């Protein structure tokens, strides 16, 4: 991979943030180096007006975040193979700097094992990064770049060889934990993931619980994630730890009821193919600072 690395970008939208989408597209167009090709996917809605040269796909129904992004991947050929790297960007985000695409090209060229880069998300007004947006347990210093075990879904870059090797995002998840599912499969295949504090996406500070389905899907998908990817002895440990953490956070009665409903749904419903990671991947995750029990 060289400076001629082909870079694309996938953006999904519900069509309800046209001004923010246009600002994001402008920030992508201003990237240094070769042009970044862009596909905007209308996830069950029409796509607002976009600049010339931006491709669009309008889906008749909302396929959820992973489903919509997978459609965007395929718009770049089977598995995204028309390009070497794909950026996945939230439609209300904004690339803070003009050199992000070039930094991605350089990072992937310099490190053949690097499969995924997680950008730093910062509030556009304060510049602050929420702790939950630093994808590691030791998250107190968002300015420290490091190897990590997962990534942020709406602010990242993925080498398309990873998608060709391990597949895309899990459609059925719809919302929550789909990034970790892909991250674990990539790590099990030998790829690495970096968190880069110098690659910044501006995004307004929000709470994930603003989504009505948050508590149910977080719990359901957590169970699916474990059932799909963890060695059998670790499944009850991982889910037990997360149940305890949920209770310690003292959610409201309604939130807790939704969480336990989703937890039960995760056990009752099909989760897709089970491909447990190897124990050496468990050890790799542990060495990277996040054993797959938390």
- Return the pLDDT at 62: 97
User: From the CB of residue 133, how many other CB atoms can be counted at a distance below 10 Å?
Assistant: 21
Contacts of 49 (CB under 8 A, 6+ apart): 18, 22
| Cβ density class 100-121: b for 16+ within 10 Å, e for less | bbbbbbbbbeeeeebbbbbbbb
**How close are the terminal C-alpha atoms of the chain, in Å?**
35
- Return the pLDDT at 213: 85
pTM for the structure as a whole? 0.96
- Return the pLDDT at 212: 58
In the chain, the domains with their CATH numbers are 7-202 (3.90.550.10), 212-288 (no CATH)
CB 237 within 8 A of CB 293: yes
- Helix H or strand E encompassing 274: none
- Return the pLDDT at 207: 74
Maximal CA-CA distance, the chain = 54
CB 160 within 8 A of CB 83: yes
CB 107 within 8 A of CB 71: no
- Helix H or strand E encompassing 94: strand 94-95
- The CA angle 221-264-273, to the nearest 5 degrees, is 45
CB 215 within 8 A of CB 255: yes
- Return the pLDDT at 3: 52
Ramachandran angles phi, psi of 43, nearest 5°: -85, 80
- Return the pLDDT at 35: 97
Q: Give the whole-angstrom CA distance, residue 270 versus residue 227.
A: 10
Low-confidence ranges of the chain (pLDDT < 50): none
Contacts of 59 (CB under 8 A, 6+ apart): 41, 42, 43, 44, 68, 71
Q: Between the CA of residue 235 and those of 144, 199, 231, 242, what are the distances in Å? A: 31, 34, 7, 11
- Return the pLDDT at 67: 98
- Return the pLDDT at 1: 53
């Amino acid at each position: 991979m060289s400076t001629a690395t082909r870079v694309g970008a996938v953006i999904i939208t519900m069509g309800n943030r046209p001004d923010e989408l246009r600002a994001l597209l402008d920030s992508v167009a201003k990237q240094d180096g070769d042009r970044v090709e862009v596909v905007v996917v209308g996830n069950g809605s029409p796509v607002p007006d976009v600049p010339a040269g931006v491709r669009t796909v309008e889906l008749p129904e909302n396929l959820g975040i992973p489903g919509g992004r997978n459609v965007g991947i395929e718009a770049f050929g089977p598995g995204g193979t028309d390009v070497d790297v794909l950026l996945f960007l939230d439609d209300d985000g904004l690339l803070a700097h003009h050199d992000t695409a070039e930094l991605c090209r350089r990072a992937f060229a310099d490190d053949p094992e690097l499969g995924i880069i997680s950008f730093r998300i910062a509030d556009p007004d304060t510049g602050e990064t929420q702790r939950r947006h630093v994808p590691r347990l030791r998250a107190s210093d968002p300015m420290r770049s490091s190897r990590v075990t997962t990534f942020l879904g709406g602010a990242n870059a993925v080498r398309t060889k990873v998608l060709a090797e391990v597949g895309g995002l899990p459609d059925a998840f719809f919302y929550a934990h789909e990034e970790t599912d892909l991250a674990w499969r990539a790590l099990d295949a030998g790829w690495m993931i970096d968190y880069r504090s110098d690659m910044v996406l501006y995004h307004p500070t929000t709470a994930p619980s603003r989504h009505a389905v948050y508590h149910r899907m977080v719990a359901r998908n957590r169970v699916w994630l474990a059932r799909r990817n963890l060695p059998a002895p670790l499944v009850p440990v991982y889910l037990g730890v997360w149940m305890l953490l949920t209770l310690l956070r003292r959610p409201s009665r309604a939130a807790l009821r939704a969480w336990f409903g989703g937890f039960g749904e995760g056990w009752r419903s099909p989760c897709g193919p089970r491909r447990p990671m190897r124990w050496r991947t468990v050890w790799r995750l542990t060495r990277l600072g996040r054993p797959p029990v938390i």
